[in-house]
Structure 1
Amino acid sequence: MVSIKQITLSAIMTLLASGATAQTSFEEISADLNKAGGVYLAYPEVTGKLTPAPKGYTPFYISHYARHGSRYLLGEGDFKLTIGLLEDAEKAGCITPLGKDVLGRLRKVFIETEGRSGDLTPLGARQHKGIAERMARNFPEVFKGKKRVYARSTVVYRCAMSMAAFGDGLKGCCPQLDVKYEMNEKNMAYLNYHTDKSNKFTNGENGPWVEEYLKFEAEHVKPMRLVNSLFSDKEFIRCKVNPEKLVWAFYWIAVDMQDIETKESFYDIFTPQELFDLWQCVNYRFYIGNANPEMSKGLVMANAHTLVENILECADKAIEDNSIAADLRFGHDGNVIPLLALLQVENFDVAVRKPEDVYKHWSDFKATPMASNLQIVFFRNKANDIIVKFMHNEKEVHVAVPTDTWPYYKWNDVKQYYQKRLENLKKQVYK
């Protein structure tokens, strides 16, 4: 029986957490322009201490889902567009001194990025290795002895490489572990699940949100100042340059610099306001496509239902089989975001209607930076009472399940809550 005290305490904690993490401001992004990259934000430094388990409880199992680590841009089109235009302007004698400088930087960066589209970067591998090492260090009891770890990734190579780096980190700390790796289509049914119905809603050409978004984007993307800073001839700009395409190409190049090895920056060609406005557009698209936008009525968030079912099923097996230390899963930002929403981690299930309001309540870089992860750590005592805590990017977080011992929740309460939530959500969405 849940007490009024438990409900009240949980509600207060959730409200406090939402107030602390929901709002994103121009000042916040101006202070750290890497955040303007949204999902390109490199995995943030882990700070703070974890809350010790209640007396008598020992960790025995970890359920995990992670996005791949830092990667290169998905294609070379942005580099070819920017380098090609600046080279043409250089030949025509209508490039500015800043344009020449930027062209030199682009050529230097392209030496590293060419032929590596979408690949995990060395930083991405280091991120997952580090997360694994901290996991082993924070919860050594989980991996003690000859335990088994099941690691599964989507069929995208950067996810498999992230999985391998994570396994290297674990094995380096616990060489006796038996880590079993899988990358196949079979596991895609829960690692990267999307319904046709949700794909129709999120479609960037004719989804029900697109027309409103296009007007929002037109209000926020102002490319001419940047274009005029690089090219000195208006006729060249009129005949050769698509200002909107160019500013977006430079945006993606600029925000990915934090994820690669070549140390260059392109933030200087933007103003902080321009970066903030571009980020608002990107943030809205990620929210619409993956979170819990009001107009979707739970449809997009429901894509995580097979993943949550897998988490519950694997936990049941691990509770019965003491040889299972962890289930590790590796996928994408479009899987982490609906998982956070469905599990109601902090305020990530917030339902917002207007594009201009989204950033005030939901931020992509807070939900899923590179290598973002959700860990559910299981503890038990000698009486076999089981409690869990949720960690998002290795920080203890709140969920909507009532508790008076945060960050710890009774597993039976958690399981029953999510089973009921899944049942209600599927009735609502798939009726």
Structure 2
Amino acid sequence: MRLKYLFACLSWFSILFSWAQTSPKEVFDKVERSGGVYYAYPYQEIGVHSAPPKGYKPFYISHLGRHGSRYLIDDADYKNTLDLLASAESQSALTPLGKDVYHRLLKVWDEVEWRGGDLSPRGVREQRGIAERMFERYPEVFRDEANITAYSTTIVRCVLSMDAFSERLKESNPKLHIYRDASVFHQRYLNHHTEEAIAFRSAKDTWREEYRKFEDQHIQPDALMTRLFSDSNFVRKKVNPKEVMIALFEIANNMQNIETDVSFYDIFEKQELFDLWQCKNYKLYVNDANAALNGGLMFENCKPLLKQMIADAENMIDNGGYGANFRFAHDGNIIPLVMLLHLKDTYNSVDNPADFYKAWSDFKIAPMAGNVQLVFYKHEKTKDILVKFLLHENEITVPPIAGQNLPYYYRWEDVKAFYLSLINEGQPKSK
């Protein structure tokens, strides 16, 4: 008995700590990953899907998707750097590389002016591609007269993502009717953040000081300033080196999301890119995911959404219909949802900042157009219902839930029971 207990403990220990750890090499090999949440949708990384158990056919899909690729949030995110380089150019304070970067940025400005925060053409293509592949994989779900809804937050890039996705489905089957809505009514659960979560993020004494020290260690801008500026006096009087380095890093990462064929990655050393990415990843991990420092606060943010997803699924099952519920939101919504769902490697919790990137990586969790799909299967002869989970269209496991159809197919009753227990956790029991 002791041996059995030991083996069981060792097995659970190996599951708990067998993270798909991110390595510096992953970022060095594909520097676009340093973009984190700017990582363009990795459709090229979609693997082969397994066949469902015999006798089961798909009938319903529950989905949450992040908006597709976008421009940087504000025009100033480009213009401030452009103006600084223009000033340096007028004072002969740029190196040849600095001049080249300035002229590249002028070319970028032609596309990005007045587009701050907008969905880009690539973002439209990403959403259309996801919809097209979904239709091809699950034609049974999209039969004539399917019951389909699509809801979005009120942010325009999410609304347009919903529209691009829905239109591609209708092109695949013109008889589909997709009810679409974008309103505060849906935003209440699609983009919900608790008062406690907001207070933790904004407080001065929760995470900011430790992060400041981490940033000081990992962002070293002097070498980049030397590569770009030829006049140290100009740098001393006019340049905030750290701000400029971070701004150029953001611009470099965003280029994969837009149409202009220009790159800025060459101005950075790969280690600089990796260290800059670590800082962005740190912030998201602490403020939206399951870093030990926040004490699990962020799980609460997506409980209203998960509750709605369960209710929508139950409604479809009870009515004996087929179709889908599509929802479109933001990175700050998909991050807590996938960890509340307990998808593999999305809810690891560590407390050492040096290990954050090993336990959790934003580009794996919330790239542009990132999405979660729950695909429901019904048995042809029984009432049994199975569910398969997809993250960015790849099959993924839910380690805490046991089942007879692993690794990818779970009994809906087991799934529902587990998630309802999480939703009700910490809440007063009804009398």
User: Shorter-normalised TM-score: what interval?
Assistant: over 0.9
* Corresponding residue number in structure 2 for 1:423: 424
Q: Deviations over 1:351-399 (max 9, x none)?
A: 1112211001100000010000000000011211111000000011011
Asked if 1:127 corresponds to 2:126, the answer is: yes
Instruction: Provide the C-alpha distance between the structure 1 equivalents of 2:258 and 2:13, rounded to a whole number of angstroms.
Output: 38
* Corresponding residue number in structure 2 for 1:358: 356
Q: CA deviation at 1:329?
A: 0.3
Asked if 1:236 corresponds to 2:237, the answer is: no
* Corresponding residue number in structure 2 for 1:257: 255
Structure 1 gap ranges (5+):
none
Instruction: Give the letter for the 2:368 counterpart.
Output: M
* Corresponding residue number in structure 2 for 1:55: 54
Instruction: Give the letter for the 1:390 counterpart.
Output: F
Q: CA deviation at 1:37?
A: 0.5
* Corresponding residue number in structure 2 for 1:82: 81
Provide the TM-score with structure 1 as the length reference: 0.94
Task: Give yes or no for contact 2:278–2:357 (8 Å, CA) kept in 1.
Answer: yes
Task: Give yes or no for contact 2:70–2:257 (8 Å, CA) kept in 1.
Answer: yes
Task: Give yes or no for contact 1:286–1:364 (8 Å, CA) kept in 2.
Answer: yes
Asked if 1:317 corresponds to 2:318, the answer is: no
* Corresponding residue number in structure 1 for 2:246: 248
Q: Which of 346, 349, 352 does residue 348 from structure 1 map onto?
A: 346
Q: CA deviation at 1:207?
A: 5.0
Q: CA deviation at 1:72?
A: 0.2
Q: CA deviation at 1:405?
A: 1.5
Instruction: Give the letter for the 1:76 counterpart.
Output: D
Q: CA deviation at 1:113?
A: 0.5
Structure 2 gap ranges (5+):
none
Aligned-pair Cα RMSD in Å: 2.0
Q: Deviations over 1:94-123 (max 9, x none)?
A: 211111100110000011011000000001
Instruction: Give the letter for the 2:339 counterpart.
Output: A
| Identity %, equivalent residues | 44
Instruction: Provide the C-alpha distance between the structure 2 equivalents of 1:366 and 1:12, rounded to a whole number of angstroms.
Output: 24
Q: CA deviation at 1:148?
A: 2.0
Count of aligned positions = 419
* Corresponding residue number in structure 1 for 2:190: 191
SS of the equivalent of 2:297 reads coil
* Corresponding residue number in structure 2 for 1:409: 410
Q: Detail structure 1 runs of 4+ shifted over 6 Å in the superposition.
A: 11-14
Instruction: Provide the C-alpha distance between the structure 1 equivalents of 2:291 and 2:282, rounded to a whole number of angstroms.
Output: 10
Q: Deviations over 1:111-169 (max 9, x none)?
A: 10110000000010110111011111101111112112100000100000000010011
Q: CA deviation at 1:80?
A: 1.6
SS of the equivalent of 1:127 reads helix
Task: Give yes or no for contact 1:14–1:346 (8 Å, CA) kept in 2.
Answer: no
Instruction: Give the letter for the 1:239 counterpart.
Output: K
Task: Give yes or no for contact 1:13–1:398 (8 Å, CA) kept in 2.
Answer: no
* Corresponding residue number in structure 2 for 1:266: 264
Provide the TM-score with structure 2 as the length reference: 0.94
Structural mapping, 1:93-132, within 5 Å: 93-132=92-131
Q: CA deviation at 1:46?
A: 4.3
Asked if 1:387 corresponds to 2:368, the answer is: no
SS of the equivalent of 2:178 reads strand
**Which has the higher mean CA deviation after the structures are superposed, 410-419 or 43-52?**
43-52
SS of the equivalent of 1:175 reads coil
Instruction: Give the letter for the 1:343 counterpart.
Output: L
Q: CA deviation at 1:14?
A: 8.8
Task: Give yes or no for contact 1:302–1:426 (8 Å, CA) kept in 2.
Answer: no
Instruction: Provide the C-alpha distance between the structure 1 equivalents of 2:41 and 2:411, rounded to a whole number of angstroms.
Output: 30
